[in-house]
Amino acid sequence: MVSVEDLARIPLFANLGADHLGLIVPSIKEQPYTKGRIIVHQDERGTVFFIMEKGLAKVTMAGRDGREITLSYVKPGEFFGEMSLLDGKPRSATVVAVEDSIVLVLTREDFLNQIRLNPEIGIRMLEVFSERIRYADEKIGLLTLTDVQSKLVHYFIHLAGRMGVPTVNGTLIENRPTHDVMAAELGTTRETITRIIGDLRRNGYIKITRKTLLVSNRLFIKK
């Protein structure tokens, strides 16, 4: 069972005292998902709210042409599945575990009651929504760029801000998107992505391995 200490580490519950967290504990169920399993299906009715306890999940959407679009990643401490509970509409996206994960699950009723009892939770959620809209706005701006190299540079900076970890050599993105995913996201071909990545790598702007991408601080200046 999840403990008060576990809940205290979740940003959404940051300002709540131990007494209050103790009252939330019984309404939370821990649920494991193995890598590759779908946690939330786009278009289904939403009945529960999730907080990522351990692991990593990817938020995706089926694009108009059927290709998968990655909207975001969910890291430990972050929440998802709130949109359909708040507006009563179907799930807006699919959420899939990209690593073996454990999520905390709350029913719609418990989720809404917690917001009613603790307006601070609502304020924290609005902060996260603001951040999501900022990222979405950035992405819209990115789509207006015409040359693919600029698009890719901005996309890497966007990824670095969203899922990167600062290191002495730059920002490290573990579990980087594949060339195919990058091509789909930027509306170009895999070959073009491979060519531009080669140029950026040779000029010391990035370091790339099969799984990781290191965005050097110079790339932020290049933009």
Residues contributing to the site for ligand CMP (CB under 6 A): 40, 46, 59, 71-72, 80-84, 91-93, 95, 132, 136
d(CA 168, CA 155): 21
Task: Report the residue number, 46 or 170, with the smaller CB distance to ligand CMP.
Answer: 46
Closest distance of CB 76 from ligand CMP, Å: 15
d(CA 135, CA 183): 19
Q: 25 is written with which tokens? A: 């504990």
Task: Report the residue number, 91 or 176, with the smaller CB distance to ligand CMP.
Answer: 91
Closest distance of CB 184 from ligand CMP, Å: 16
Closest distance of CB 46 from ligand CMP, Å: 4
Q: Tokens 């959404």 correspond to what residue? A: 12
Task: Report the residue number, 82 or 185, with the smaller CB distance to ligand CMP.
Answer: 82
Task: Report the residue number, 84 or 114, with the smaller CB distance to ligand CMP.
Answer: 84
Closest distance of CB 172 from ligand CMP, Å: 21
